[in-house]
Structure 1
Amino acid sequence: MNKNKRKLAGGLALSILMLALSACGNSNSSEPASGAADADANGKKVKAVFYVDGALGDKGFFDSAQRGMDRAAKELGMDVKTVEGGTNQADWAAGLESLVAGNQYDVVVVGTSNMTDIVKELAPRYPDEKFIYFDDNLGDIPNVYSMLYAQSEGSFLAGAFAALVTESKELPAANPDKTIGFIGGMDIPIINDFKSGYEQGAKYVTPDVKVVSSYIGDFANAPKGKELALAQINGQKADIVYQVAGGAGLGSLEAGNETGKYTIGVDANQNGLYPGSVLTSMMKNIDASVFRALELFQQGKLEFGKNEVLGIQEGGVGLAKDDLYASHVPQAIRDKMAEIEAKVVSGEIKIDSILN
């Protein structure tokens, strides 16, 4: 990854505070905690809305962003609301514009590559509205701040980890075949950047490792995610599968658990869903980055028209290393992963991104 492309000033102190997800239904609001600061730099209460191009409950991507919204309500006293747009893509443009056109909110939080073209078309038509965009680079639109996560870096770690697992003599479900799996939600550039990083990391550890890949076609069809994972495990002899498919990927994790094989979660820490089967997760720390952006907005310091890229060094991405990781992953693998991560941070290991 080209470090010079990370336009980050002074380093980002991204702290991860995992709050209980309280969102449900078609929309929700979070009340501020008593005594919390509740005004922006101009002395007025900030109203923020999160538009979800899908639904909450994926235990990953959208739920992580929601935690950032909930934290802003609790710690910053913001008046926040979440609107779920559903899975029909034809509804998303009109759904987002209805929020923007109403001029009810100081800032609109939205993300995913599926919404990029919609926001690029919408933002110039509503120049007085402010957008915080996560998970893609929208360029220099004056009223949009965007942040992109270096998923190729985080996925490099996931690939290195998968290669160590498939070669392990200590993990009972690792088979003799050097085959690992990848399941993406859709065959689109951002998902393929995950895939590229995963392949680079795997081959860094084991040059002759075989990576088998499948795409679900969306980010909601969990039964299809399960079916594809079972095919990789049973038919192609993959003993560990990395899912990058949002809610659809939960089916892949279920397949790993049912077959007694291993999986890697994504976006949030999914280790607790199937302890001992989900060995780690490649986390995009969306919650911390959304909170950070909202806090800067409240302070009048968020730079609109700017894009930032958050990698391992900045705390934007990384593997989940919790108590479950320590309990189920052999010490030799944990030590090797610490060594590899240090080399990535130092720049000794260079990782390519297909998005650059």
Structure 2
Amino acid sequence: MKKSIKGKFGVVLLAFAIILGGCGAANTGNTGSKGESTDKDKLSVGYYVNGNLGDSGFFDSANAGLEKATKELGIEFKAVQGGGNQSDWPIGFESMVSSGKYELIVVGTSQMKEIAIDLANRYPDQKFIYFDETIVDVPNIYSVKYNQREGSFLAGAFAALVTNSKELENANPEKVVGFLGGMDIPIIKDFKSGYEQGVAYVDPEVKVITSFVGDFINAPKGKELSMAQYNSQQVDILYTVAGPSGIGALEAAKEVNKYAIGVNSNQNNIQPGHVLTSMLKNVDSSIFRAIDLYKQDKLPFGTNESLGFNEDGVGLAKDDLYNQYVPQTIRDQVDEIQAKLVSGEIKVQ
């Protein structure tokens, strides 16, 4: 009897040893060998979109910069889309910040500035990259702005050349060009000022018609206002600075067989032959550059950088569609004006 009990006890001990051994093996596998790359080695970046991706503008451009950083710099990132209801943005953004999941958080636009400053002060250990606005003296925010006035000057010069063109069949004899803004706010007025200066540089007699949508998401209203400019006010080319609302303007250009200038990202392929060029804010390259500097411990937090033509911060989209639909005479004049902007011969006020 005693022998039997002893035998059973030995079986139990053996089974217990096997269980312990199995637990030990599983734990070793989860830990990983020294020097092995794990997800924890990657820089984790969050991107808060105060709107939605798919805008064919700077939300998508920033996302493209993060995708490039994923491939070339080895980061991992997650984009969170806040949607069109502005009242949701403060809660949604703070949820991302308070999660503690991200070493860096990317956010932008003038509409998020005060929210970002507040959160940066309340979460001093969180680092932020802020695009398309100036924020200084906040030690955990690096901000980058684009010289949209300089870029818009070239867009205005281009518009004046188009409306005066005898080679473009849809340019009418009237010297009238259009501007569609999302909202009547300082940053959009800055675009408008540069645009008007560029128009006047080429031809002071060209008139600029202006409309504001009232937001950046209402594409049908953007289209309606643009149709009014094209049909009632003799505009033959229109510069849209209205985010997703501006997509309606590009549709209107095609519908009435006129021209448009896109903004922020290259929108030439949205309505080819009607969107002749786009004024680029190279958000993608600026975000990639900032992350690269951060990884080198060289990103100047607490400061703002303004990027113009010389820093590849702004420009006109000169792709195959531009070369196909824009006459060589206009392309040559645009290149000449751009060279003068770069050299400082032309100074935008």
- TM-score, normalised relative to structure 1: 0.86
Could you tell me how far apart the structure 2 residues matched to 1:293 and 1:85 are?
23
* Alignment gaps of 5+ in structure 2: 1-36
Q: Structure 1 residue 171 and structure 2 residue 168: aligned?
A: yes
Rounded to whole Å, the distance in 2 between the matches of 1:324 and 1:86 is 32
What is the aligned partner in structure 2 of residue 85 from structure 1?
Answer: 82
Q: Which residue of 2 aligns with 1:323?
A: 320
Q: Please give the residue correspondences for 1:37-186 in structure 2 after superposition, counting only pairs within 5 Å.
A: 44-186=41-183
The CA deviation at 1:59 is 1.0
Is 1:263 the counterpart of 2:255? The answer is no
Q: Does 1:217 align with 2:214?
A: yes
SS in 2 for 1:337: helix
Question: Cα distance, 1:297 vs. partner?
Answer: 1.3
User: What displacement does 1:285 show?
Assistant: 0.4
Report what 1:227 is aligned to. Answer: 224
User: After superposition, where does 1:297-308 map in structure 2 within 5 Å?
Assistant: 297-308=294-305
What amino acid is the match of 1:120?
Answer: I
CA contact (8 A) 1:39 1:46 kept: no
Which of 283, 286, 308 is 1:289 aligned to?
A: 286
Max Rg structure: 2
Give the Cα separation in 1 of the matches to 2:227 and 2:237: 11
Match of 1:22 in 2: none
| 1:301 aligned counterpart, secondary structure | coil
2:348: which partner in 1? Answer: 351
Counterpart Cα distance in 2 of 1:39 and 1:289: 27
Work out the CA distance in 1 between the residues paired with 2:242 and 2:292: 29
Return 5+ residue gaps in structure 1 as ranges.
1-37
Report the CA distance between 1:45 and its aligned residue. 1.8
Residue aligning to 1:340: 337
Indicate if the aligned counterparts of 1:149 and 1:284 stay in contact, CA closer than 8 A.
Answer: yes
Task: Supply the AA of the counterpart residue of 1:212.
Answer: I
**Matched AA of 1:211:** V
Letter in structure 2 aligned against 1:135:
D
Instruction: Name the structure 2 match of 1:190.
Output: 187
Return the match for 2:234 from 234, 237, 245.
Answer: 237
Q: Give the superposition deviation at 1:39.
A: 9.3
Q: CA deviation at 1:104?
A: 1.1
Secondary structure of residue in 1 paired with 2:70 = helix
Structure 1 residue 208 displacement after superposition: 1.2
> Counterpart amino acid of 2:277?
T
Q: Deviations over 1:139-166 (max 9, x none)?
A: 1210000000000000000000000000
Aligned to 1:25: none
The 8 Å contact of residues 39 and 77 in structure 1, kept in 2 or not, is answered as no
The aligned amino acid for 1:178 is K
The AA in structure 1 aligned to 2:254 is: N
Percent identity reads 62
Q: Give deviations 1:22-58, integer Å, cap 9, x for gaps.
A: xxxxxxxxxxxxxxxx899xx9321000000000011
Query: C-alpha separation between the residues in 2 aligned to 1:273 and 1:45?
Result: 36
Q: CA deviation at 1:299?
A: 2.1
Query: How far apart are residue 306 of structure 1 and its match?
Result: 1.3
Moved over 2 A (4+): none
TM-score with structure 2 setting the length: 0.88
1:302 Cα deviation after fit: 1.0
Is 1:140–1:307's contact at 8 Å kept on the other side of the alignment?
Answer: no
The SS at the match of 1:273 is: coil
- How far did residue 63 of structure 1 move? 0.6
**1:59 match: secondary structure:** coil
Give the distance between the partners of 1:100 and 1:284, measured in 2 at CA. 26
Is the partner of 2:41 in helix, strand or coil? coil
Q: CA RMSD in A?
A: 1.3
